[in-house]
Amino acid sequence: MTTMIRNDNQQPNVGMEGRRNPYDSAVEQFMQAADILGLDEGLRQVLSQPKRELIVHFPVRMDDNSMKVFTGFRVQHNVARGPAKGGIRYHQDVSLDEVKALAMWMSWKCAVVGIPYGGGKGGVIVDPKKLSITELERLTRRYATEISMLIGPYQDIPAPDVNTNSQTMAWIMDTFSQHHGYSIPGVVTGKPLSIGGSAGRNEATARGLLFVVREAVKHTGLSLSGARVAVQGFGNAGAIAARLLKQDGAIIVAVSDTQGGIYNKNGLDVASVLRWKEEHGTVKGFHDAEAISNEQLLEVDCDILVPAALENQITVSNADRIKAKIIGEAANGPTTPEADRILHAKGIIVLPDILANAGGVTVSYFEWVQDIQSYFWTEQEVNERLERVMVKSFNDVYKIAQDKNLDMRTAAYVLAVGRVAEATKLRGIYP
């Protein structure tokens, strides 16, 4: 059974785990928490679907002067706790249901770490590697224009996600500002430093993961020093996580990207792998390592596994073969609910996405606060505040897990869904 094919046809779950509809997973995870919290039927209905879904089809002039129509989405799941917040993803397999799941996960993520935002997400169906930089800029500016009725510093604040970066955010910020006639840096986060970005934002997802992994190892008898780590995905989250975990003494035994993976049981020199990736566009072919597939990477003998790529990677078809003791989900939705149950039964500690990768949106919040106040913090201030938020959030979730005898994901959901439900209930129904 293949695990790499993803559902891009917006059909409900087609049965094969690897093709599981991420929105079905998100709703299933939510309902489990709703049962534990005893949420009433009305709140379940409100919280199990997004508040707004925008689908846009828009033309882009290509470099050869031809025109191409692209499809994009922006979804707001819940805004009871504050403006919608969440990244924009460029990927050939983006679908409305994927964006709906990601928007819901953002609501829970912001609630777990206690930042005053709701959840949103955007995406464009495009393989950005096939576009030139000028085509990407035109696509980004037109997509920003198409979703501009939804976004704004007090409405909905995009950020980078898979295949988007600080340059993408600079174009969106500029486009939105041009429409208004003045600079509005707080409309997006993850911007370059020179136009209102925050120190530490680029490393924030990985640094947040490091902080929660440090807490988790304290409860397992493991030590980060000497721990063997495998990282799936070598983008902003995965590559920086590998670097930071290595700095803490971990041995990075395997890494991978979309083209494949590399393995060395004695440890990879992460700095050299980064240089190789810059030169060759992939980690594949790196000397001093064995070639492995993305599927094999998940099953290598290691202590800590960091999925940092896409959804539906750990499924019923491979969960049983996972050897790690701790899984730190840098990606959103890498584990299906069925796989979760297998991992839990095996005693593997899963640090769930809505906690483990919340460092990114936490520093996005810091960036937004700095933009609104036009008063900027040092990298040390940012990292210290991030550490406080992540350590507290880990311990809040851990306590619920202990008190109620739950796995860490369910405990994180109980905390997050409880907070969102309370805000939604207190605000009441208008009119």
Sheet holding 52-61, edge to edge: 52-61, 67-78, 118-125, 84-91, 156-160
Residue window 179-218: x/- pattern of binding to ligand GLU, with contact defined by CB under 6 A: ----------x-----------------------------
The phi and psi torsions of 188 (rounded to 5 degrees) equal: -140, 160
Residues 273-332 that bind ligand GLU (CB under 6 A): 332
Which of 257, 360, 401, 408 binds ligand GLU (CB under 6 A)? It is 360
Rank residues 159 and 209 by Cβ distance to ligand GLU and give the closer one: 159
Rank residues 51 and 325 by Cβ distance to ligand GLU and give the closer one: 51
Q: Is 129 a catalytic residue?
A: no
Shortest reach from residue 36's CB to ligand GLU, in Å: 24
Among the candidate windows 139-147, 252-260, 359-367, 408-416, which touches ligand GLU by CB under 6 A?
359-367
Which of 198, 364, 370, 393 binds ligand GLU (CB under 6 A)? It is 364
Rank residues 292 and 328 by Cβ distance to ligand GLU and give the closer one: 328
Rank residues 107 and 256 by Cβ distance to ligand GLU and give the closer one: 107
Determine the residue type at 62: M
Residue 361 found at the interface with ligand GLU (CB under 6 A): yes
Rank residues 155 and 264 by Cβ distance to ligand GLU and give the closer one: 155
Residue 407 found at the interface with ligand GLU (CB under 6 A): no
Among the candidate windows 144-152, 175-183, 353-361, 375-383, which touches ligand GLU by CB under 6 A?
353-361
User: CA angle, corner 173, sides to 167 and 175, nearest 5?
Assistant: 105
Which of 86, 122, 196, 328 binds ligand GLU (CB under 6 A)? It is 86
Residue 87 found at the interface with ligand GLU (CB under 6 A): yes
Q: Using CA atoms, how far apart are residues 413 and 397, in angstroms rounded to an integer?
A: 9
Shortest reach from residue 357's CB to ligand GLU, in Å: 6
Among the candidate windows 25-33, 67-75, 85-93, 255-263, which touches ligand GLU by CB under 6 A?
85-93
Shortest reach from residue 359's CB to ligand GLU, in Å: 9
- Dihedral-angle region of residue 410 (phi above 0 means left; psi in -120 to 50 means alpha; beta otherwise): alpha
Shortest reach from residue 288's CB to ligand GLU, in Å: 32
Shortest reach from residue 16's CB to ligand GLU, in Å: 25
Kindly compute the dihedral angle of the four CA atoms of residues 32, 38, 41, 46, in this order, to the nearest 10 degrees.
Answer: -70
Q: Using CA atoms, how far apart are residues 226 and 27, in angstroms rounded to an integer?
A: 38
**Residues near ligand GLU (CB under 6 A), total:** 11
> Of all residues in this chain, which one has the CB nearest to ligand GLU in the complex?
87
Q: Which of 281, 285, 330 is nearest to 306 (CA)?
A: 330
Residue 85 found at the interface with ligand GLU (CB under 6 A): yes
Which among 51, 100, 109, 121 is annotated as catalytic?
121
Shortest reach from residue 313's CB to ligand GLU, in Å: 16
Residue window 147-176: x/- pattern of binding to ligand GLU, with contact defined by CB under 6 A: ------------x-x---------------
- Residue 38 has a CB neighbour count (10 Å cut-off) of 6
Q: Using CA atoms, how far apart are residues 268 and 286, in angstroms rounded to an integer?
A: 10
Rank residues 189 and 312 by Cβ distance to ligand GLU and give the closer one: 189
Rank residues 52 and 425 by Cβ distance to ligand GLU and give the closer one: 52
Rank residues 237 and 273 by Cβ distance to ligand GLU and give the closer one: 237
Shortest reach from residue 402's CB to ligand GLU, in Å: 26
- Give the catalytic positions in this structure: 121
Positions touching ligand GLU (CB under 6 A) are 85-87, 159, 161, 189, 332, 357, 360-361, 364
